[in-house]
Amino acid sequence: MDILEVSELNVAFPTRYGLVRASQNVNFSVKEGEICVLVGETGSGKTVIGQAILHLLPQNAKISGSILYAGEEILSISDQKFSRLRGHEISLVPQNPTDSLDPLMRCGQQIAEVLDICGTSREDQLSRTTSILSDLSFSDPELVAASYPHMLSGGMRQRLTTGIALAASPRLLIADEPTKGFDYTARKRTVDMFLDLERMGIDSILMITHDLVFAEMIADTAGVLYSGELVEFGPAADVFSSPLHPYTKGLVAALPKNGMTPMPGMSPGLARLPNGCYFHNRCATPCEENSVHPVMRKVCGRFVRCNRC
């Protein structure tokens, strides 16, 4: 059963340089109980997808397509209706934990706030906050709850933002670049934390990251984004071990364990996308029909957007 089904999602921003098509015809789904990871480089439109699901896009964004959450359309419903889903149905672990915490509010209060809108009583809020914090392996939950965000370390802040996201026990968690700027140890801890979330009643996670190593460690299903398009989507083990799309191949080849072979060229700007295949000029095995824009096709149990496959 799919908890989240995104189909034909298009997001564009009008700017003075023209229309920036941040996301084009994106189709994917997250099944209940699995961790789905979307991988892409900076500017491939991955954050926009998360924001579109949560209705957090700026007002000038032009959005089309459909997003079904548990079989219900959520893209076209009003912000007011949607804000009831936020928190206890779909929740977000933000990209930058340091800037995502209100500097003037005590950490405990920032968790309790979420419980408050769910109608938890004041005494319960306090005990719930403490139990959430100790679940996230904070050694002294009371002290953390009473401190301000600037007193915590980077790793603690991330666990705290995760705690806030979990407070109302959502069914789907969207994590936006949870390992941005982390070193290996911190990344390992984050992996453990996310794998541990199942114990806390979170079963479906949509993870957005540029970190391929992290994605490989954690993902059940994986999608690869390039220039606003999904170019490959399927079971994570298949995608990372035997990539089909040349971009995915290039990414995997660029991993340290595979010899760090860099890919040539740059991705095209989202405002000036070519007509045909976006990856053509960087492709290691270019085909003749590059003027035809490739469509998503099902190949050996996964979806690939390539004219060759």
Partner 1 sequence: MIELGIETWINFWKSNVCETDWYYRLRQRPDLQIVFVLLVVVLSVSIFAPIISPHDPAVQDLYGKNQWMSADHWFGTDYLGRDLFSRVVCGLQTSMTIAVTTIATTFVIGTMIGSYAGYKGGWVDNVISRVIDVFLAFPSIILALALVTFLDSGILNMILMLVIAQWASFARLMRGQVLVEKNAEYILSACAAGLPGWWILIKHLIPNCIMSVVVLATLELGHVILTISTLSFLGLGLSPSIPEWGSMINAGLDSMRTAPLNVVVPGLSITTVALLFNLAGEGIRDIIDPGTDAEGSLWTF
Partner 2 sequence: MHHYLIKRIIYLIFTLVIASMFVFVVVNATPGESAEVLARHLYIGLEEIAPPELIAEVSERYDLNKPILQLYLEWIGGILRGDLGYSILFNKPVNRLLMLHLPPTIFLTVVAMVFATTTGLVLGIFSALHQNRILDHIIRVGTIFSVSMPGFWVAVMLILVFSMWFGLTPISGYGGPPYIILPAIALGLHTMASITRIMRTSMLETMNKPFVMFAKAKGLPKRRVIVSHVCKNALLPVLTIIGTSFGTLLAGSVVIETIFSWPGIGAMLMKAISARDFVLIESTIMMVVFMFLIVNFVIDLLYHVIDPRIIYD
| 114 belongs to the binding site for partner 2 (CB under 8 A) | yes
> Tokens in use for 23?
């996301």
Please, what is the minimum distance in Å from the beta carbon of residue 58 to partner 1?
4
d(CA 74, CA 270): 26
Q: 171, 204 in Cβ contact below 8 A?
A: yes
Strand partners of residue 35: 205
**Of positions 42, 60, 139, 153, contacts partner 1 by CB under 8 A:** 60
Q: Residue 237 CB: number of other CB atoms within 10 A?
A: 13
| 78 belongs to the binding site for partner 1 (CB under 8 A) | no
Put residue 201 in one of left, alpha, beta given phi > 0 → left and psi -120 to 50 → alpha.
left
Q: Which stretch binds partner 2 (CB under 8 A): 88-96, 179-187, 222-230, 248-256?
A: 88-96
Q: Which stretch binds partner 1 (CB under 8 A): 55-63, 88-96, 222-230, 254-262?
A: 55-63
d(CA 107, CA 161): 9
Site track for partner 1 across 13-42, x = CB under 8 A: x-----------------------------
CB nearer to partner 1: pick between 13 and 148: 13
| 94 belongs to the binding site for partner 2 (CB under 8 A) | yes
Residues that bind partner 2 (rule: CB under 8 A) add up to a total of 31
**Of positions 75, 92, 152, 202, contacts partner 2 by CB under 8 A:** 92
- Nearest CA to 302 out of 221, 193, 219 is that of 221
Beta strands in 116-253 (DSSP E): 172-176, 204-209, 221-226, 229-235
Q: Which does 60 bind (CB under 5 to 8 A by kind): partner 2, partner 1, none?
A: partner 1
Q: Which stretch binds partner 2 (CB under 8 A): 93-101, 135-143, 192-200, 231-239?
A: 93-101
- Nearest CA to 33 out of 167, 168, 202, 165 is that of 202
**Of positions 1, 42, 58, 288, contacts partner 1 by CB under 8 A:** 58
Please, what is the minimum distance in Å from the beta carbon of residue 291 to partner 1?
34
